[in-house]
Amino acid sequence: MVILLVHYRKLFETLLKYSGIIAAIVAWAVIFICISLNPWFVFTEHAFSDLGASNANMPLIYNYGLILTGLIMLLYSAYQIEKARNNLEAVGGGFTFISGLFLMLIGLFPSGTRPHTFVSTWFFLQADMAILAWGLGLLKRRERGYGYIFVVMGIVSPLIGFLIDWPSAATVEAFGIVVIDIWVLLMLKILK
């Protein structure tokens, strides 16, 4: 019985460790599935959230997919907080938790609803704050390489998002998602 419990604990820890990667895979899978179901969607003209609007084909796939991805991010944030070595890193895990909640809210308040723009903007801002907080936490423990990379990512990526004249909301959203995905991949080196 004890061996079985140890095995499942290790399996659960592995799942938590890779939950950020799993969230990224689920998010992109949902986006690509929904684009294939909506041939009218043009990357340079629309927002990804249009795939969850009431006039989209099967919008619940997109909206429930975001809720699922947000739930997986909550697991990832718990792993970050568990592995944090100082308060700044724990705060970064907290921001990851909040960004996961906002991602779930995007699914609950799809395109065309009043709070949609607020919750979608705050998802990205909370993720940027998570990246920045982790960078500062790493600098505090004198891990300068990833610390500086994350601080630059956390400051520069939102500036790029706001300052560039993107052709569509989907293009800036894709940029933001890729930044988060790169951070999650790099975090595999940190969260051991």
Domain with 118 in it: 2-190
pTM for this model (two decimals) = 0.93
5 has a pLDDT exceeding 70: no
Which contacts (CB < 8 Å, 24+ apart) does range 80-86 have?
A: 80/134, 80/187, 80/191, 82/16, 83/190, 83/191, 83/192, 84/137, 85/137, 85/141, 86/137, 86/140, 86/141
Distance CA 86, CA 89 (A): 6
Domain total of the chain: 1
Residue 11 pLDDT: 86
pLDDT in tens, 131-149: 999 999 999 999 999 999 9
pLDDT band at 9 (very low <50, low <70, confident <90, very high): confident
pLDDT in tens, 110-129: 999 999 999 999 999 999 99
Helix (H, G, I), strand (E, B) or coil at 169: helix
